[in-house]
Amino acid sequence: MRGSPLPEGAAPRLTAAHTTHGACARAPALTMASTMSEPPHRPARSGPRRPFGKPGARPSGPARRGGPPPVWSGEDDVALLYGWHTVAEALKNPRRRFRRILATENGLRRLAEEGVTPPVEPEIVRPGEIDKLLGPDAVHQGLLAQCDHLPSPPLAKVAKHDLVLVLDQITDPHNVGAIVRSAAAFGVGAIVTTARHSPLATGVLAKSASGGLEHVPFCLVQNLARALNDLKDNGMLVVGLDSEGPSDIEDAPLRAPLALVLGAEGKGLRQLTRQTCDVLARIDLPGVIKSLNVSNAAALSLGIAVRALRRNVTS
């Protein structure tokens, strides 16, 4: 938003950077050759396969208007989840489909104490085994899961919510994860974003979301401006956050159903996105620093929006 590398014989390792960018190390324990057959139209290839695709890869599915929504385009469409809140919330979600779960004795004990029953038998490992896969800096708390991505809801269903977020090419997974966490806290119905130029819902993003992925679905679209017009056709007020907006968001005429649109840090909203919004609004700050990290701006604007929508209901 505006204003605001494996030597021969070494153990396989997934570094934090790999996790951030959605590219998995060639670790036999996490390859998908044993769990998925090669699609008939794709020639077989030698070597292990990576669990995630590249960030910003083209979405699968038809691009025609009115077709099913696109999906995350990972080579095997696999999400890697780690950390207590991230994995525990996923285990409680009946829509999650798990492929493998690695857990330390302590991690498994904590799940039992919290009454969380894994749908597949966990593999008991030492903490160092998970460290080798994620890297020493990843805070996994003895839990690592490999599962399918959650399905993307159709835009028409998203438009039925009172409050949704729209992300215009925000590519940093830490920021997007933090936005997802705030969205879950404020009861956002869905997050609309493009399947291209968006980080995959896995690894660092999922960890930063702290379980929020299980509560706020990503609605993936091919064309953001067209999606915004579809939301407007369904009665949603589309408000774009822009540092050059004519009014403070606290003074904007917010009403439900509402879609808040945020752009990437530095470049902000793209021109077509800006033109498609019904209203442009800025966040006025009283201090000497006049800009916020996009995830902080999302949390602040959501708080303002929720209060405004609540006032409209009671008045």
For residue range 83-129, list pLDDT tens digits in order: 999 999 999 999 999 999 999 999 999 999 999 999 999 999 999 99
> What separation, in Å, do the N-terminal and C-terminal C-alpha atoms of the chain show?
32
Confidence at 15, pLDDT banded by 50, 70, 90 = very low
Query: DSSP alpha helices (H): ranges in the chain?
Result: 16-21, 84-92, 105-113, 127-134, 155-158, 173-185, 203-209, 224-233, 271-276, 294-314
* pLDDT tens, residue by residue, 187-202: 999 999 998 889 999 9
Predicted local distance difference test score (pLDDT) of residue 132 = 92
Overall CATH class of domain 155-314: alpha beta
pLDDT at 12 over 90: no
Predicted local distance difference test score (pLDDT) of residue 48 = 34
* pLDDT tens, residue by residue, 148-188: 999 999 999 999 999 999 999 999 999 999 999 999 999 99
Strand partners, 103: 124, 143
Predicted local distance difference test score (pLDDT) of residue 136 = 84
* pLDDT tens, residue by residue, 253-297: 999 999 999 999 888 999 999 999 999 999 999 999 988 999 999
Fold of the domain spanning 16-42+67-148: 60s Ribosomal Protein L30; Chain: A; (3.30.1330)
Specify the pTM: 0.77
146 three-class SS? strand
Confidence at 66, pLDDT banded by 50, 70, 90 = low
Question: What number of other Cβ atoms are within 10 A of residue 244's Cβ?
Answer: 11
Sign of CA dihedral 22, 296, 240, 4: negative
Task: Name the residue ranges covered by the structural domains of the chain.
Answer: 16-42+67-148, 155-314
